[in-house]
Chain A
């Protein structure tokens, strides 16, 4: 009896055991495969970025539509914070950003070094580095001095070749271009370097008038790319010393030269719109930030290789990665809408400063971009009283003066400008800096003396 019973029980146990195991595995498998709740059980997926890329015709590799600009790294007391740079570049690399733009002049020469140090931790073929020949100063126009700048870039970056090399800030005129690059033989030298593979792409960055643009393009040089300022504000703005972005883009597209976009946010101004403009954008789409609108506008054009953005904060970087992973192109209706926004922006008499700091340091210690940034902020937010009869004159006056002395220390205020004009040659936006400084100073004077 007992033998019989034991066998039955054993089979019974067996059955239960296998049954439970089978069922639990089924339940588990179902939970893993079907349930969205189970995502946390799976190991993290290998990095698969959805970043939109554009094909580089020279190397045949994909360039991420978001490029990292090296002009605005987090810094303290004028020193770049290397840890933060590494942290930002790590996130950027992980999310598919592979174009890194720098120049010898950025951050007083620290940008190349910091970026080189950070990027060297990655395989050389996983990123593109762009740097520039920044021989603005007439002292650097000789071949030796220019070549020294070029050689120094390799030293600072610590790399044996440069993917994208630019003639920095072409623009003030035909003579200037010839003196900087042609007469001293620098352009021939760079083309030779390209043949030898030390440079992979040769191009130029451009801020200037139509004449110098067409002159550079008419030369017998194969330009692999050209970097231009392009955003919805500049798209249709056409003036004598400065052709519209649309014109530049069309000219380059006609010649089949890929375009790299700089200043897609106009020095951050398109990201910080005033309340009226912000309300308009949000009415159209509550989920889009002003920065995303501007980036999408630039990225939607087909002949754009990459859109550069100098992202200081991690939040900027992650937001931009979201915008471009993948890029949702703007429609024609959206483009018209953005043009209306640009027109509305033009009503504010702001200074077109993008805080590139090419004008600095000022021999009289005026903080030029700081003054302009403060003025622009006040103009866009309507914080400048029109006259003494204005409703909130007293309050606006004291607030303007108080915040001015706080934003710009008194030794760096506009009143110290002697109109020497040294900065004007350097300004890629061709701002008449002394005139604007006078304007700020007069406004401050009038407010201080109650004579507005």
Chain B
């Protein structure tokens, strides 16, 4: 009764405060979601060894902290207009409290998330990415450096490849340079079409017999990715090898494939046939310089 005006506004202010609290909570939950989103985004682009990009990961943390702080600033700033001096004092201390606690909470939450993620990543990193350290180039190219010098990336060999294993490289250093990718098919030993069409001599003209005597790479088995250690017997790689370079031997209670790297030509038949998914359990590692078989 002493302050009719204030009494009048109270229910209004209460509802106002409620709606503000609602906004605050929504914005906070949104920002939290954004935090997680960014973390997941950062984690979703592993490099070739299935490690997570650290720089983007940390950038995302910094970004989220900044975004959240700004959000807080916005929220608390918007409340400024209709408050008394005492409430302002109270508000400012509340603001600082909110800022500190929320920042702390955020960082600790992110710390936990990171810890959690590390734990979960540990399982993932055990699998190895089946990727050759060195581009695999067709028989007749002899040496990668020479091939790089001689090839003028006309893509004729890519067009003519019947198994579609010869593809232009997407890596920066070797952009558009043809390389062999064996995930879907393999380089047939009775085919020298790429050598026939090459106009620059980057791929030497070789006969089919020559081809069976050139090692362009060698198969590598990845235990972690293989079905056999999950008690699912499999010998697809042994079956398909055209050169009998793979044999199955007992190792503990499993039968595992072993590769005779002295015989292996690097045709990729085993890699193409490997049923392990999404990461193949056998892949071809390219030789820098091709070797006589």
Contact = CB atoms under 8 A, between A and B. Distances in A.
Given A279-B249, A286-B256, A38 B58 contact: yes
Interface string B41-74: 0000000000111110110011001100100110
Interface stretch (B92-100, B159-167, B183-191, B265-273): B92-100
Contacts, number: 110
A283 B257 CA distance: 11
Nearest to A37: B54
Contact of B55 (A41, A273, A275): A41
A16 B73 contact: yes
A1 B88 CA distance: 10
B247 interface: yes
Size category of the B interface is 35 or more
Nearest to A12: B95
Interface in A25-68: 26-28, 30-31, 35-41
Contacts of A282: 249, 251, 258
B66 A20 contact: yes
B143 to A, nearest CB: 9
A40 B76 CA distance: 39
Contacts of B260: 274-275, 278
Interface of A: 1, 4-5, 8, 12, 15-16, 19-20, 23-24, 26-28, 30-31, 35-41, 74, 83-84, 271-275, 278-279, 282-283, 286, 289, 313-315, 381, 402-403, 406
19 contacts: A19-B69, A19-B99, A20-B65, A20-B103, A23-B104, A24-B61, A27-B61, A28-B58, A30-B111, A31-B54, A31-B61, A37-B54, A37-B57, A37-B121, A272-B262, A274-B260, A279-B258, A313-B288, A314-B288
A283 B251 CA distance: 6
A5 B103 contact: no
Nearest to A24: B62
A293 B267 CA distance: 27
Contacts of A39: 54
Interface in B273-290: 287-289
A243 B55 CA distance: 61
Majority-rule SS of A interface residues: helix
B88 A286 contact: no
Contact of A37 (B73, B118, B251): B118
Contacts of B100: 15, 19
B88 A8 contact: yes
Nearest to B118: A35
B20 interface: no
A97 B281 CA distance: 33
Given A16-B73, A16-B99, A283-B251, A38 B54 contact: yes
A12 B288 contact: no
A8 B99 CA distance: 14
A20 B66 CA distance: 7
A24 B210 CA distance: 61
B103 A19 contact: yes
Most chain B beta carbons < 10 A, residue from A12, A28, A37, A40: A37
Nearest to B80: A5
Contacts of B288: 313-315
A10 to B, nearest CB: 11
Nearest to A15: B96
